[in-house]
């Protein structure tokens, strides 16, 4: 892992200089902020737009709606952003030739891959933390305070689900050496997990299953099952990243 | 590993599917030399350099660079080499100074020593004024100079430079070539190029590659002596096209003529018998009534050798041997 620290500093500076950090955090912050607002006012909005025809059809919003809206937003826009962030991470450097520039220096391929993975994970963690804090504050203002530990645990589960999709896309980015192909495969995996989650045998272990568990945790209850899905997704992430590292070490640049 | 040899390749072969890019290359580059690696486009020069850096993997054969066997894991090889890609690409968001500092840190440099070395390299490659500008805004020539700078920054034992001056203007090319020449003795430089005058200017030894095969490899002087044929250069005064055409025909018919090339109005006659040619060429000039501005027996150049060994059009076809053929040299 020679050069890992140097490459990590480079990745962080790159995210800041290219405005990727700001853009991703801003989108997540907006999603975090709007989730409780939308949950609180969706009834009024629909009734106002419908001119009274929907009056009484939508129940009074509760705190759980804010949480569900948050995980739903992260499960859609958050996943898409995670795929966008991961799809070009290795492929772009391979295509542009900057990977060849780096890897003729005393830097190992393992460090190159690890720095990318850590940077993606950290970017999603920072963005989700900001989104989570804003969501919690606005939920407290508009509804009632959520249990802090449970809500943080829920956000951590959402983070794990995003990292799972990012890891699969990252693997595709390494193997296909094309950002576009990696994005397509990442999105394909997103759609496939949506379909597979309907199967009782494997559905609870899909990354998408973590969102329901996140809702329960955020609302102060312990989801069942929890350990199995978490473990399954951790294994999925580690397997995807291990395969990516193995594949990259064998590639010619 | 012979300490006198900085690079040794034995049977180095690279195949991409059905395409044989490099065919059992044997190469020995003396330590401290500036070694020119010549060949037409697609000859296998870049493939060789990428194999020597470890970026590519050989289909067969072995190579040792600066005492390190290529293809092993770890960073031993990278610590001993500096590499410039033929189309160098860097992080556009970094400034020139930041990029060199980043490279220096990768080699374990730091503090005042790194700052001083970065300043020195920026000055050497003529980028001090652009040091604070983002690399993304650099021209192709500036990027290439930055590429030379990053390759030489850690003072590597071996510098592998792929077309190091191809994007430079004449002044930049001269300066960079002088810089590479000054590295002689301190580093070993393996420089690929298709600009023959550059090689002639600074290289001690030359290898010519064609269709993935090593055609020849020798010290510059020996190569010229071994392969170059005597050449007569005739420079007719302008405005006598018909007479010059007659002269070309007469030269072509001469028994001692191997080839006649017309290069911007100057006739270069490659001969098989220098004495006979010197004695008989001028009477032909007189007989055809051509007025000459210059008649000279010239030293064969690397270009003459290259064209003879690889082919005049760079296609790898052998140079023409039939007497009297006229080549238009660009």
What is the ipTM for the molecules in this complex?
A: 0.87
Q: Does B108 touch chain A (CB under 8 A)?
A: yes
Q: Does A62 touch chain B (CB under 8 A)?
A: no
Q: What is the pLDDT of residue B2?
A: 60
- Token pair for A134: 């804003």
Average pLDDT, chain B: 87
Mean pLDDT across the stretch B192-197? 83
Q: Say which CATH architecture domain B5-219 belongs to.
A: 3-Layer(aba) Sandwich (3.40)
Radius of gyration of chain A (CA): 20
Q: What is the pLDDT of residue B305?
A: 76
Residue B7: which of B22, B24, B26 has the closest Cα? B26
Least CB-CB distance to A252: which of B57, B79, B107? B57
Q: What is the pLDDT of residue B299?
A: 72
CB contact under 8 Å between A252 and B74, yes or no, is: no
- Chain A contacts of B106, Cβ < 8 Å? 3, 6, 105-107
- Provide the β-strand partners of residue B190: B35, B160
- Identify the closest residue of chain A to B58 by CA–CA distance: A252
Neighbours of A13 (CB within 10 A): 16
Q: In this structure, what DSSP letter does residue A134 have? A: H
**Domain containing A183: what range?**
4-249
- State the Cα–Cα distance between residues B327 and B263, nearest whole angstrom: 8
- Chain B contacts of A88, Cβ < 8 Å? none
pLDDT tens column, B266-292: 998 888 887 888 788 999 999 999 999
pLDDT tens column, B106-148: 999 999 999 999 999 999 999 999 999 999 999 988 999 999 9
Least CB-CB distance to B75: which of A6, A14, A108? A108
- State the Cα–Cα distance between residues A103 and B72, nearest whole angstrom: 13
- Chain A contacts of B144, Cβ < 8 Å? none
Q: What is the pLDDT of residue B3?
A: 67
B314 pLDDT more than 80: no
Q: Does A51 touch chain B (CB under 8 A)?
A: no
Closest-CA distance of chain B to residue A248, Å: 12
Q: What is the pLDDT of residue B22?
A: 95
CB contact under 8 Å between A106 and B85, yes or no, is: no
Mean pLDDT across the stretch B182-203? 87
Least CB-CB distance to A2: which of B53, B54, B75? B75
With residue A135 as reference, give the H or E element that holds it: helix A109-142
Q: Does B57 touch chain A (CB under 8 A)?
A: yes
Mean pLDDT across the stretch B207-230? 83
Tally the domains of chain A.
1
- Chain B contacts of A18, Cβ < 8 Å? 93
Mean pLDDT across the stretch B79-107? 95
- Token pair for A12: 């962080």
- Chain B contacts of A17, Cβ < 8 Å? 93
State the pLDDT confidence band at B228, using cuts at 50, 70 and 90.
Answer: low
Q: What is the pLDDT of residue A37?
A: 95
- Token pair for A57: 């059809």
> Is the distance from CB of B244 to CB of B292 less than 8 angstroms?
no
B222 pLDDT more than 60: yes
- State the Cα–Cα distance between residues B276 and B298, nearest whole angstrom: 15
pLDDT tens column, B142-174: 999 999 999 999 999 999 999 998 878 888 888
State the pLDDT confidence band at B321, using cuts at 50, 70 and 90.
Answer: very low
B1 pLDDT more than 70: no
Higher-confidence residue of B226 and B197: namely B197
State the pLDDT confidence band at B325, using cuts at 50, 70 and 90.
Answer: very low
Q: Does A251 touch chain B (CB under 8 A)?
A: no
State the pLDDT confidence band at A57, using cuts at 50, 70 and 90.
Answer: confident
CB contact under 8 Å between B91 and A108, yes or no, is: no
Q: Name which of A145-149, A177-181, B226-230 the model is least confident about.
A: B226-230
Q: What is the pLDDT of residue B298?
A: 79
- Token pair for B315: 């296609």
Mean pLDDT across the stretch A6-11? 95
Q: What is the pLDDT of residue B235?
A: 93
A155 pLDDT more than 50: yes
Angle between helices A79-87 and A20-49 in degrees, nearest 10: 150
Q: What is the pLDDT of residue B315?
A: 46
CB contact under 8 Å between B93 and A2, yes or no, is: no
- State the Cα–Cα distance between residues B88 and A134, nearest whole angstrom: 44
Identify the sign of the CA torsion B143, B145, B146, B147.
positive
B324 pLDDT more than 70: no
Q: CA separation (Å) from B160 to A20, A31, A120, B105?
A: 35, 50, 34, 20
B304 pLDDT more than 90: no
Q: What is the pLDDT of residue B69?
A: 93
pLDDT tens column, A65-120: 999 999 999 999 999 999 999 998 999 999 999 999 999 999 999 999 999 999 99
pLDDT tens column, B30-84: 999 999 999 888 889 999 999 999 999 999 999 999 999 998 778 999 999 999 9
Indicate the domain borders of chain B.
5-219, 228-328
Residue B82: which of B155, B141, B174 has the closest Cα? B155
- Residue A193 main-chain phi, psi, to 5 deg: -65, -30
Mean pLDDT across the stretch A202-229? 91
Q: Supply the CATH classification number for the domain B228-328.
A: 3.30.70.100
With a pLDDT cut of 70, the percent of chain A lying above it is 100
């Amino acid at each position: 892992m020679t050069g890992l620290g140097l490459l990590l500093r480079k990745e962080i500076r790159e995210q800041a200089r290219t405005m990727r950090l700001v853009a991703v955090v801003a989108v997540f912050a907006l999603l975090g902020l709007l989730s409780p607002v939308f949950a609180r006012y969706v009834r009024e909005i629909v009734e106002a737009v419908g001119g009274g025809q929907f009056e009484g059809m939508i129940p009074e919003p509760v705190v759980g709606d804010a949480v569900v809206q948050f995980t739903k937003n992260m499960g859609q826009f958050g996943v898409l952003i995670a795929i966008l962030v991961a799809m070009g991470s290795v492929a772009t450097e391979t295509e542009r030739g900057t990977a060849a520039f780096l890897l003729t220096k005393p830097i190992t391929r393992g460090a190159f891959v690890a720095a990318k993975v850590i940077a993606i994970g950290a970017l999603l963690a920072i963005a989700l933390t900001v989104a989570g804090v804003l969501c919690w504050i606005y939920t407290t203002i508009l509804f009632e305070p959520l249990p802090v530990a449970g809500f943080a645990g829920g956000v951590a589960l959402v983070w794990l689900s995003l990292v799972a999709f990012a890891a699969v896309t990252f693997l595709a980015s390494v193997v296909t050496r094309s950002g576009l192909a990696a994005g397509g495969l990442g999105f394909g995996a997103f759609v496939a997990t949506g379909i597979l989650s309907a199967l009782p045998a494997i559905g609870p272990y899909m990354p998408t299953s973590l969102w329901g568990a996140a809702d329960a945790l955020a609302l102060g209850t312990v989801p069942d099952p929890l350990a199995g899905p978490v473990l399954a997704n951790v294994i999925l992430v580690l397997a995807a990243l291990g395969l990516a590292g193995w594949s990259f070490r064998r590639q010619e640049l | 590993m012979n300490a006198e040899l900085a690079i040794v390749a034995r049977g180095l072969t690279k195949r991409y599917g059905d395409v044989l890019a490099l065919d059992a290359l044997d190469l020995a580059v003396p330590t401290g030399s500036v070694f020119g690696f010549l060949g037409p486009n697609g000859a296998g020069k870049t493939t060789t350099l990428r194999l020597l850096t470890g970026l590519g993997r050989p289909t067969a054969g072995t190579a040792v660079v600066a005492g390190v066997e290529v293809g092993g894991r770890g960073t031993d090889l990278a610590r001993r080499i500096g590499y410039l890609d033929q189309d160098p690409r860097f992080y556009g968001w970094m400034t020139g100074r930041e990029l060199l500092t980043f490279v220096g840190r990768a080699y374990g440099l730091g503090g005042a020593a790194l700052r001083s070395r970065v300043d020195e390299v920026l000055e050497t490659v003529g980028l001090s004024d652009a040091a604070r500008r983002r690399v993304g805004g650099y021209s192709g020539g500036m990027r290439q100079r930055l590429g030379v700078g990053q390759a030489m920054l850690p003072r590597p034992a071996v510098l592998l430079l792929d077309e190091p001056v191809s994007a430079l203007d004449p002044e930049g090319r001269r300066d960079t070539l002088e810089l590479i020449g000054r590295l002689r003795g301190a580093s070993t430089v393996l420089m690929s190029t298709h600009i023959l005058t550059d090689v002639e200017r600074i290289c001690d030894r030359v290898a010519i590659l064609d269709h993935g095969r090593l055609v020849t490899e020798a010290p510059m002087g020996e190569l010229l002596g071994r392969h170059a044929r005597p050449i007569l250069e005739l420079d007719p005064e302008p405005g006598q096209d018909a007479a010059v055409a007659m002269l070309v025909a007469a030269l072509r018919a001469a028994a001692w003529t191997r080839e006649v090339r017309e290069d911007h109005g100057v006739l270069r006659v490659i001969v098989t018998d220098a004495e006979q040619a010197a004695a008989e060429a001028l009477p032909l000039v007189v007989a055809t009534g051509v007025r000459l501005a210059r008649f000279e027996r010239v030293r064969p150049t690397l270009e003459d050798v290259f064209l003879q060994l690889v082919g005049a059009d760079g296609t790898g076809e052998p140079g023409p041997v039939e007497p009297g053929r006229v080549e238009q040299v660009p």
